[in-house]
């Protein structure tokens, strides 16, 4: 049995943020019906194409374990089918531009009339306010949520991060909102609206940077390198380069081979609890007792000197050797892994975080499996659906269309090419 078995999701999502949310729910056992425009589908199917004619990795890696139904929600018969989906499902998830559902004729009020138990979950770029009507993509959210202004080096421009905190991060937030609303519905019997604005999701992930914003009032942020460099702080949290975001100073340091390998680096944290072991490992045993080095606070204005010395040592080792030497001493370090190294990692394959998936158009591709492991709800990663692959199945088995009624809906053109459905 899967955790969300029996939960039916009307998946009206596209691109990245919404699909990551419904993919997680599918992995936890929900039955996810991805509603796509006939003949077109989710725009990502044909974006960043690497195998001509096949669904892109952009699409396949975000839409596992779902069923696809083609449906024109602006056509009268299409609206009828959509109404039946709303009646049948527990959750509607959407990330259209603001107002798109209303323009289709499915306002929250109308949805509640159709099914008062339905939970309607939305990703939008911004919450209510002056930007609520704006369309938003990943990097806009990173910029508006405080990530870009706090990422990068002080003497360079703001930088966006490769981790898709605006899209996939918001998808995660939304998934939590949905399961919470499902839990509340157990007791209230009512659905509710769940909204996850991308700006808010990024702000939530930048919580520690807003912590630092307020700490500025009490003086310089001593764990930032610029403190030791004597560079004054301005009125907002600055970019911290690779400084640690917490109370234990850390840096990215060069390792053996850095001259030719762009990822021959390690993260190295000078955790106070293991300072003495660090001193021994790098060959500076006198720093254990030396004034100005022995106590954590004394070290804060010397971080450049300390990390330069540690780097002299890390540069004599590969990033994996640093890990092997430091781990037995409980010194927190981590190799900078390339995407290639991650995809080849045997351990990640054994846990199902990196998986091989078979696809009829693409052959085998590598994907990222479910990152959250439930001991009583195992996940099998299934390939993403082809466009409209399950239209007939969903109309018949989920929505109960049969005989002339089914023929009428199919002939209307609202659910894709009639020939395609008859052939199923
Ligand atoms: N049948 C008929 N019409 C459909 C349909 C279907 N099955 N599915 C979608 N449409 C229509 C929508 O109703 C909309 O029509 P209107 O403009 O007449 O209302 C139209 O397709 C386009 O939808 P959209 O505006 O959502 O899509 P877009 O490509 O123009 O914008 C995006 C994309 C992501 C910028 C926008 O959807 C958005 O801001 N979403 C919210 C924030 C978000 O999730 N962003 C992250 C995206 S991932 O980086």
CA gap 420, 21 in Å, rounded: 29
Residue 327 Cα to ligand 1 midpoint, Å, equals: 48
Q: Is 333 helix (H, G, I), strand (E, B) or coil?
A: strand
| Per-residue confidence (pLDDT) for residue 245, from 0 to 100 | 75
| Per-residue confidence (pLDDT) for residue 378, from 0 to 100 | 96
Fold of 8-205+372-422: Rossmann fold (3.40.50)
Q: Are 18 and 123 in contact (CB under 8 A)?
A: yes
Return residue ranges of the chain for CATH 3.30.1540.10: 207-331
Is 356 one of the annotated active-site residues of the chain?
A: no
| Per-residue confidence (pLDDT) for residue 246, from 0 to 100 | 81
Question: What is the CB < 6 Å shell around ligand 1?
Answer: 15-18, 35-37, 71-74, 95-97, 100, 103-104, 123-125, 135-138, 167
Provide the 8-state DSSP code for 386: P
Fold of 207-331: formyl-coa transferase, domain 3 (3.30.1540)
Return residue ranges of the chain for CATH 3.40.50.10540: 8-205+372-422
**Residues with Cβ within 8 Å of residue 334, at least 6 apart in sequence:** 266, 267, 323
Backbone angles phi, psi at 76, to 5 degrees: -60, -45
Q: Are 44 and 23 in contact (CB under 8 A)?
A: no
Residue 123 Cα to ligand 1 midpoint, Å, equals: 11
Residue 422 Cα to ligand 1 midpoint, Å, equals: 29
Catalytic residue among 31, 90, 167, 200: 167
Beta bridge partners of 32: 9
Residue 316 Cα to ligand 1 midpoint, Å, equals: 52
CB atoms within 10 A of CB 267: 17
Q: Could you tell me the sign of the dihedral formed by the alpha carbons of 82, 86, 92, 98, in that order?
A: positive
Beta bridge partners of 269: 250
Mutation pick for ligand 1 pocket among 135, 167, 412 (CB with most ligand atoms within 8 Å)? 135
Q: Counting atoms of ligand 1 from 1, which one is nearest the CA of 36?
A: 7
pTM (2 d.p.): 0.96
What number of H helices and E strands is found in the chain? 19, 11
CB atoms within 10 A of CB 313: 18
| Per-residue confidence (pLDDT) for residue 244, from 0 to 100 | 86
Beta bridge partners of 355: 367
Q: Counting atoms of ligand 1 from 1, which one is nearest the CA of 72?
A: 1
Q: Counting atoms of ligand 1 from 1, which one is nearest the CA of 125?
A: 42
CA gap 154, 151 in Å, rounded: 9
| Per-residue confidence (pLDDT) for residue 422, from 0 to 100 | 59
What tokens were used for 329? 């001493």
CA gap 123, 21 in Å, rounded: 10
| Per-residue confidence (pLDDT) for residue 45, from 0 to 100 | 98
**Residues with Cβ within 8 Å of residue 266, at least 6 apart in sequence:** 252, 253, 255, 314, 319, 322, 323, 333, 334, 335, 336
Mean pLDDT, the chain cut into blocks of 10 residues (424 residues total): 97 98 98 98 97 97 98 97 98 96 97 98 98 96 98 97 98 98 98 98 98 97 93 97 89 98 98 97 97 95 95 98 98 98 97 98 97 97 98 97 96 91 60
Q: Counting atoms of ligand 1 from 1, which one is nearest the CA of 103?
A: 19
Residue 14 Cα to ligand 1 midpoint, Å, equals: 7
């Amino acid at each position: 049995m899967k955790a969300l078995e029996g939960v039916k999701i009307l998946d009206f999502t596209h691109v990245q943020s919404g699909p990551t949310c419904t993919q997680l729910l599918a992995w936890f056992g929900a039955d996810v019906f991805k509603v796509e425009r006939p003949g077109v589908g989710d725009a990502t199917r044909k974006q960043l194409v690497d195998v001509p004619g096949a669904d892109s990795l952009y699409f396949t890696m975000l839409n596992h374990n779902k069923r696809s139904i083609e449906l024109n929600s602006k056509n009268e018969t299409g609206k009828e089918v959509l109404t039946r989906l709303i009646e049948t499902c527990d959750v509607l998830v959407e990330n259209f531009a603001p107002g798109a559902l209303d323009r289709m004729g499915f306002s929250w009020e109308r949805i509640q009339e159709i099914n008062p138990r339905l939970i309607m979950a939305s990703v939008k770029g911004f919450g209510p306010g002056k930007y609520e009507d704006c369309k938003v993509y990943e990097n806009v959210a990173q910029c508006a949520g405080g990530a870009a202004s706090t990422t990068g080096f002080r003497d360079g421009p703001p930088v966006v991060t490769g981790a898709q905190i605006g899209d996939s991060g918001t998808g995660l937030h939304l998934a939590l909102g949905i399961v919470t609303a499902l839990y509340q519905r157990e007791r209230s019997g009512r659905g509710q609206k769940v909204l996850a604005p991308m700006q808010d999701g990024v702000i939530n992930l930048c919580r520690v940077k807003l912590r630092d914003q307020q700490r500025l009032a009490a003086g310089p942020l001593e764990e930032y390198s610029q403190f030791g460099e004597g560079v004054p702080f301005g009125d907002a949290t600055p970019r911290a380069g690779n400084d640690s975001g917490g109370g234990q100073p850390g840096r990215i340091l060069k390792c053996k081979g850095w001259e030719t390998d762009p990822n021959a680096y390690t993260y190295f944290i000078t955790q106070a609890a293991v300072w003495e072991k660090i001193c021994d490992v790098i060959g500076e045993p006198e720093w254990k007792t030396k004034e100005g080095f022995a106590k954590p606070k004394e070290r804060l204005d010397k971080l450049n000197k300390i990390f330069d010395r540690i780097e002299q040592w890390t540069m004599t080792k590969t990033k994996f050797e640093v890990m092997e030497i430091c781990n037995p001493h409980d010194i927190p370090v981590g190799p900078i892994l390339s995407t290639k190294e991650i995809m080849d990692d045997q351990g990640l394959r054994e846990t199902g975080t990196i998986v091989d998936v078979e696809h009829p158009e693409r052959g085998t591709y590598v994907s990222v499996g479910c990152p959250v492991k439930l001991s009583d709800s195992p996940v099998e990663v299934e390939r993403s659906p082809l466009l409209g692959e399950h239209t007939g199945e969903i109309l018949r088995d989920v929505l109960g269309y049969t005989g002339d009624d089914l023929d009428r809906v199919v002939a209307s053109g609202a659910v894709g090419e009639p020939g395609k459905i008859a052939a199923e």
